[in-house]
């Protein structure tokens, strides 16, 4: 029994450190991934294969940025589960429903980046003479043809996380300005792949989530702001 009493606080501390660092890291990883995109200041949607290929072929920073977004998925899930555990009062339902949506959306984000990023790195190895022959396959990827439309499910990630943030404001765990900054940033992520808008959203998320992560590391996130 004494061993259990000594172990429990350590386990809780480890959980808190994991969630605290997750809250700090994942918005920073998203921001780094977005700003590494070529033509960051462009507001134009990429709809043609030629324009899309010009972005990523021979551009390792494009793939590195998308890889960062992919690797942000585990911290996103850890952070969402932490917020769900914090919301036990008036925001409990927002925490639960938002958590389910956020975790599912994070999973779909991983599927999206796996299909539309890792696959492209394989196409990098195809020599130029043969590369033109795969244009129809690239168009199918760009159009999310077949069952790739399922990857649009990642849109529920910012919606679910926004519900959890609303729950934190409702229970007065975070100040209103902080919650508004995060929710505004999350909503900006719901755009047709315009990286400057996504970057602005990730920056707002950093402003709100990093202080939350620091409080979690200090063990004060559950207290009233």
Q: Is residue 170 within 8 Å of residue 90, measured between CB atoms?
A: yes
Q: Has residue 90 been placed in a domain? A: yes
**How does 132-149 read in b/e, with b if 16+ C-beta sit within 10 Å?**
eeeeeebeebbeeeeebe
Q: Is residue 61 within 8 Å of residue 121, measured between CB atoms?
A: no
Q: Has residue 209 been placed in a domain? A: yes
Q: Has residue 23 been placed in a domain? A: yes
Q: Has residue 94 been placed in a domain? A: yes
Domain housing 93: 18-218
Q: Has residue 6 been placed in a domain? A: no
Q: Has residue 134 been placed in a domain? A: yes
Identify the H or E element spanning 85: helix 73-86
Q: How many domains does the chain have?
A: 1
Q: Which two tokens stand for residue 55?
A: 């972005």
Q: Has residue 157 been placed in a domain? A: yes
Per-residue pLDDT, 6: 65
Q: Which two tokens stand for residue 135?
A: 């244009």
Instruction: Walk along the chain (225 residues) and give the pLDDT tens digit of each residue.
Output: 466 566 778 888 898 999 999 999 999 999 999 999 888 888 888 889 999 999 999 999 999 999 999 999 999 999 999 999 999 999 999 999 999 999 999 999 999 999 988 999 999 889 988 999 999 999 999 999 999 999 999 999 999 999 999 999 999 999 999 999 999 999 999 998 899 999 999 999 999 999 999 999 999 998 554
Tell me the C-alpha distance between 52 and 166, whole Å: 37
Q: Has residue 10 been placed in a domain? A: no
């Amino acid at each position: 029994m004494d061993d259990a009493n000594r172990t429990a606080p350590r386990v809780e501390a480890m959980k808190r450190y994991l969630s605290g660092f997750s809250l700090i890291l994942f918005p920073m990883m998203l921001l780094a991934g977005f700003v590494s995109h070529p033509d960051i200041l462009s507001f134009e949607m990429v709809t043609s294969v030629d324009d899309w290929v010009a972005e990523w072929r021979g551009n390792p920073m494009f793939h590195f940025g998308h890889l960062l977004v992919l690797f942000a998925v585990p911290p996103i899930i850890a952070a969402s589960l932490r917020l769900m555990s914090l919301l036990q009062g008036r925001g409990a339902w927002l925490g639960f429903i938002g958590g389910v949506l956020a975790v599912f959306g994070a999973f779909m984000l991983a599927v999206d980046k796996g299909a539309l990023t890792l696959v492209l790195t394989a196409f990098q190895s195809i020599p130029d003479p043969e590369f033109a022959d795969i244009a129809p396959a690239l168009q199918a990827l760009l159009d999310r043809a077949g069952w790739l439309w399922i990857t649009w499910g990642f849109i529920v990630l910012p919606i679910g996380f926004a519900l959890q943030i609303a729950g934190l404001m409702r229970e007065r765990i975070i100040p209103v300005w902080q919650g508004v900054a995060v929710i505004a940033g999350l909503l900006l992520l719901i755009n047709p792949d315009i990286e400057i808008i996504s970057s602005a959203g990730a920056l707002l998320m950093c402003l709100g989530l990093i202080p939350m992560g620091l409080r979690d590391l200090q063990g004060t996130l559950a207290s009233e702001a």
